[in-house]
Structure 1
Amino acid sequence: MNGALLIGGDKVTTSSGGTYEHLFAGTGRPNATITIAGAAEMDAAVRSAAEAQREWVSFPVDRRRDVLLDLADAVRDHQAELSELNTHDYAVPISMAGNSVLTERFLRYYAGYADKAHGLSTPVSGGFDVNLVEREPYGVIGVIAPWNGALVPVGLAVAPALAAGNAVVLKPSELAPLAALRFGELCLEVGLPAGLVNVVTAGAEGGDALVRHPGIGKIHFTGGGGTARTILRAATDNLTPVVTELGGKNALLVFDDANLDGAAMLAAFQGPLGQAGQSCACASRIIVHHEVYDAFLEKFVAVVQSAPIGDPFDPQVMFGPVVTQGAADRILGVIDEAVDRKMGRLVTGGSRLGGDLADGYFIEPTVFADVDNASPLAAIETFGPVVSVLRATDEDDAVRIANDTTYGLNAFIQTNDLTRAHRVARRLESGSVWVNTFSDIQPQGPYGGYKQSGTGRAGGVEGLHEFLRIKNVRIGMG
């Protein structure tokens, strides 16, 4: 498999950053040798992007639109290949690896905005002077993608950045770069200028060089809060603006009028099962009205325990491994500490899987009941297949528990009462609220967090404006 860097239209296999041996999480065996970018390669990528961006903005806007539509078509036509690469990247089950569909939707949506980055004209006090407010691209955008699905920020960040007239240096994680590298090849195949989208896999050193580079106009980062703080500190060297999409300790509220069968299925997938809980959108705190607590818990655990576990390339499998041995050790440590300190009642799971799966990084989907929201189990993002079930006495109590967190990315409501759905949604301190549905991100809706879950938005016109800066032009009419 291709592990080369993509800089200025060329594949680069020799780098100052060396190489990384990628292990497939399903087996623990070597999967690919990945070239790692160092400072020199990042500099080359940014310079190449700056040159390509000047060519890109010289295109008529309808040509830019059409090329982006061609890119959306290419992503659609290569969906099976990209899904397979996602599974190679981080062992997400092939049945759930189709996030290139999201990428295609965002590319197609923002292609239509290529000629719609409207400014405006306003009256001013200077008689008949003309006052123009224009929107212009930043130039080169650095997009730092997480390992758990690099094609998602390709849709959420790369698509609007290109539509706004920018070039992109995309840095996927060394843990999962293969799908992103193939996307970069597709950009060239459909006719984007060489260097407009550079894909440079890197670790901390390369990432630091990207953030500190004076040729970067803006950084878009998706990942954890600790890394975000490091990036924000590094970006102060050049006062580079940074937009972040960070983690969450997302609450799913189940009220006494909810469809419990549907709620249990949604909570299981949105909680420990989807991507083995390795998602910023994971519903890791499930808050249940006391009158239906026991009935819901029984149904929920039954769904969790019935999930097919195994080879991520088996289309029948729903639940796969965590990304690395280090991640497995960390998550098992969280479980052991929760048991030892009696943070909740372990209902199911809690162990590493053996047998035919022993060489992979498989951890049983794990559910703790009767969890105290003040405990580390409920307060700290685990990023693994571990969820807490909490009891609420009434609606006010459920909202209080849900908001009692430093995060605010997603919240979920299960109710058949439309009035309650509106009322509770407005009370929840969360950038997105999903009522009786999964976190199905669509390009028409701005997505992003409150509090320590990030700044800025992806999707909608708000997502386009993240990659445009404002210029005021005043023309004196004397």
Structure 2
Amino acid sequence: MQDFKMLIGGDERAAVGGEWIESVNPYTGKAWARVPRGQAEDAAAAVEAAAAALENPAWKNLTASQRGALLRKAGDLILANAERLADLEVQDNGKLKAEMLGQMRYLPEHYYYYGGLADKIEGAVIPSDKAGMFAHTVYEPLGVVVAITPWNSPLLLTTWKLAPALAAGNTVVVKPSEHASVSMVEFAKLFLEAGFPAGVVNVVTGFGAECGATLVEHPKVAKVAFTGGDGGGRAVYQAAAKNLKHVTLELGGKSPNIVCEDADIEQAVKGAVSGIFAATGQTCMAGSRLLVHEARHDEFVEALRDFVAAAKLGNPMDRETKIGPIANLSQYEKVLDYIDIAKGEGALVAYGGKAYHGAGCENGWFVEPTVLTEVSNTMRVAREEIFGPVLSVIRFKDDEEAIAIANDTPYGLAAGVWTKDLVRAFRYTKELKAGTIWVNAYRVVSYAVPFGGFKQSGIGRENGQEMIKEYLQTKSVFINLDKEVPNPFVLR
């Protein structure tokens, strides 16, 4: 059992109450580490540390170019520690080592990108319609930013917030999920090593009700950036509204992955697998609704079943493993409950459908990759986010029906389309109501391309050049060049 402490104001701390939360390895079912069970006092201390760092000349007086240099140094350190960070995440959330190591090696690119962007944030001189008046704008940091991140990809989803926030000159308090906090604590230490002043990056661990609420409601917090379920997002939005804080919400999805009549079935099967069984279905962008043209339905389901049957479930550290365990016990039980719900609604199990305890998986929280057929878009499994390896297959007869079904959801995070017809592809990208659409691909993201949702899948965007303004505020400046001030009782 290892203990990992919070990072507040550059110091490693236990919780004021002295309590701890055990992190359970989802592959072994055994606790392997502890993190502090932070309380409101701990959260408030982290915000105060971030607020103090914001005014510290060591941070406040840095030029944008100097901030960029620190970000690039942080990227170098992340790359040097990629293997260790990946191992921590695998133990914390059970995702495949192959994916986590790939993510860790890609994370530095975000810091290089925003490090380069830091000194490209330019205001403007605005031609004024007021004679003798010089007008210009500048961008300034918002202040203290709180980043609340989930357990499925803690460091990646933190980076989507942290890199642009720091590039813009803010200070940050990160509250990772209580189910996966270890990697974040170790990750934050690298920013101190890179030369960031103490208090610029802080980490508080604990439960949302006990410390997260204090972070969201604290009067010195200017912005909350949240990734998680739509229920949690609503709670954050409501709490942040009390003090009119800036908010970015990246929430859930029930994304359609559409296989048209002319699709390359072999490639589309890979796309379906990538959409729902990669990461054991524990991604907000999961293509959990597979819409298949009725003429290709049976052929596609058979090919999909054969492909999934060959995928090995097992130790996520093993490079041969394709599907790992569910990240925590409550989620494991939720996924199994939804499979039972689907059966009760009339869906048929074409593959999987139950817990898995085969060789090497006896103690972990494994669920068989599950393919459900005869699903209608009115069933709960087609409307509610499951966040697990459960795929609902829905038939459609033509493009109009596919688009209607795809858009008939309260969510709008992502969508996939599989077709050889360029005109059809453009029609779908135009008519689908989703923040990201992939054509003949699925589950592709980039630091350079904005990501976020329509409808109840969120507010705001992450990644890309423009989104750095989500962490900035605009100041307009008027300078009077005339010696005389005109009538002071009249608006100029």
TM-score range relative to shorter protein = over 0.9
Shift of 1:102: 3.8
Q: Deviations over 1:181-200 (max 9, x none)?
A: 11101101111111110011
Partner in structure 2 of residue 477 of structure 1: 481
Which of 274, 279, 293 in structure 1 is aligned with 2:283? 279
CA distance in 1, matches of 2:179, 2:119: 37
- The 8 Å contact of residues 103 and 156 in structure 1, kept in 2 or not, is answered as no
Give the drift of 1:155. Answer: 2.0
Aligned match for 2:92, one of 84, 89, 92: 89
- Return the alpha-carbon distance in structure 1 between the equivalents of residues 310 and 54 of structure 2: 51
Aligned equivalents of 1:436 and 1:101: distance in 2? 25
Aligned partner of 1:298 in structure 2 is 302
Per the alignment, residue 31 of structure 2 pairs with: 30
Which residue number in structure 1 is paired with residue 6 of structure 2?
A: 5
- Give the whole-Å Cα distance in 1 for the aligned partners of 2:107 and 2:289: 28
CA–CA separation in structure 2 for the residues paired with 1:304 and 1:237: 48
- The answer to whether the 8 A contact 1:15-1:37 is kept is yes
Cα distance between partner residues in 2 of 1:434 and 1:57: 41
Offset at residue 471 of structure 1 (A): 1.2
Residue of structure 2 in register with 1:143 after alignment: 147
Kindly provide the amino acid, as one letter, of the partner of residue 63 in structure 2: P
Alignment of 1:229-248 (within 5 A): 229-248=234-253
Can you list the C-alpha shifts for 1:443-465, whole angstroms capped at 9, x where unaligned?
Answer: 11111000000010111122201
2:367 matches 1:352: no
| Structure 1 residue identity aligned to 2:16 | S
2:107 aligned partner: 103
User: Offset of 1:17 from its aligned partner?
Assistant: 7.0
Whether the aligned pair in 2 keeps the contact of 1:96 and 1:318 (CA below 8 Å) is: no
User: CA offsets per residue over residues 399-452 of structure 1, 9 Å max, x none?
Assistant: 111111000000011111122111111110000001112222111111100000
Out of 166, 183, 188, the position equivalent to 2:187 is: 183
Name the SS of the counterpart of 2:221 in structure 1: coil
Paired amino acid for 1:249: K
User: Which residue does the alignment assign to 2:161?
Assistant: 157
**Structure 1 residue 2: deviation in Å?**
4.7
Moved over 3 A (4+): none
The superposition leaves residues 384-410 of structure 1 with CA deviations (integer Å, 9 ceiling, x where unpaired) of 110101111011111111111000000
Q: Is the CA contact (8 Å cut-off) linking 1:95 and 1:316 kept in structure 2?
A: no
- Residue aligning to 1:223: 228
Aligned to 2:40: 39
| Residue matched to 1:460 | 464
Q: Which amino acid aligns with 1:353?
A: Y
Kindly state the Cα deviation for residue 124 of structure 1 after the two structures are TM-superposed: 2.2
- Following the alignment from structure 1 to structure 2, what is the Cα–Cα distance between the partners of residues 446 and 8? 31
Q: Deviations over 1:108-158 (max 9, x none)?
A: 111111111111121222203111122110111000000111112222110
Which is worse superposed, 86-95 or 355-364? 355-364
Question: Any idea what SS the aligned residue of 1:357 has?
Answer: coil
- 1:352-406 CA-to-partner distances (Å, cap 9, x unmatched) read 1124423211111101012101111101111111010111101111111111100
Alignment deviations for residues 336-358 of structure 1 (CA, whole Å, 9 cap, x no partner): 1211221x211011111124423
Letter in 2 for 1:240: K
Question: How does 1:17-416 map onto structure 2 within 5 Å?
Answer: 18-54=19-55, 55-98=58-101, 99-204=103-208, 205-271=210-276, 273-342=277-346, 344-355=347-358, 356-416=360-420
Instruction: For residue 173 of structure 1, give the secondary structure of its aligned residue in structure 2.
Output: coil
**Deviation per CA, 1:76-104, whole angstroms, max 9, x where unpaired?**
11111111111011010112213223422
Residue 188 and residue 258 in structure 1: after superposition, are their counterparts in 2 closer, same or farther (change >3 A)?
same
Does residue 446 in structure 1 map to residue 450 in structure 2? yes
Which ranges in structure 1 are unaligned for 5 or more consecutive residues? none
Q: Give secondary structure in 1 for the equivalent of 2:34.
A: strand
Q: How many residues align?
A: 476
Q: Is the 8 A contact 2:345 2:379 kept in 1?
A: no
Report the Cα distance in structure 2 between the residues aligned to 1:136 and 1:16, rounded to whole angstroms. Answer: 37
User: Deviation of residue 63 (structure 1)?
Assistant: 1.4
Residues 147 and 453 of structure 1: is their aligned pair in 2 closer, same or farther, counting only changes over 3 Å? Answer: same
Q: Helix, strand or coil for the counterpart of 2:165?
A: helix
With over 3 angstroms needed to count, the CA separation of the structure-2 counterparts of 1:94 and 1:459, relative to structure 1, is: same
One-letter amino acid of the structure 1 residue matched with residue 258 of structure 2: L
* Per-residue CA distance 1:274-303 (angstroms, 9 max, x = gap): 111111011000101112111111111111
Structure 2: where are the runs of 5+ without partners? Answer: 483-492
Deviation per CA, 1:18-42, whole angstroms, max 9, x where unpaired?
Answer: 2111111111111101112211111
Q: Residue in 1 aligned with 2:486?
A: none
Q: In the aligned structure 2, how far is the partner of 1:319 from the partner of 1:215?
A: 43
Give me the identity figure in percent. Answer: 37
CA contact (8 A) 1:17 1:38 kept: no
Contact 1:402 1:428 in 2 (8 A): yes
CA distance in 2, matches of 1:341, 1:63: 59
Cα distance in 2 for partners of 1:78, 1:160 equals: 21
Structure whose alpha-carbon radius of gyration is higher = 2
User: Which residue in the other structure is 2:487 paired with?
Assistant: none
Equivalents in 2 of 1:15, 1:309: separation in Å?
Answer: 41
Give the match's secondary structure for 2:118. coil
**Mapped contact 1:145–1:153 kept (Cα < 8 A):** yes
Q: Distance between the aligned counterparts of 2:391 and 2:199, measured in 1?
A: 43
Letter in 1 for 2:219: P
Tell me, in whole angstroms, the C-alpha distance in 1 between the residues paired with 2:178 and 2:118: 32
Q: Report the equivalent of 1:432.
A: 436
Query: How high is the TM-score relative to the length of structure 2?
Result: 0.94
Q: How far, CA to CA, are the matches of 2:441 and 2:312 in structure 1? A: 22
Give the Cα separation in 2 of the matches to 1:107 and 1:299: 41
* Residues 95 and 318 in structure 1, CA contact (< 8 A), matched pair in contact too: no
**Preserved CA contact (<8 Å) 2:15 2:42:** no
SS of residue in 2 equivalent to 1:97: helix
Q: Using the alignment, how far apart are the partners of 2:19 and 2:124 within structure 1? A: 49
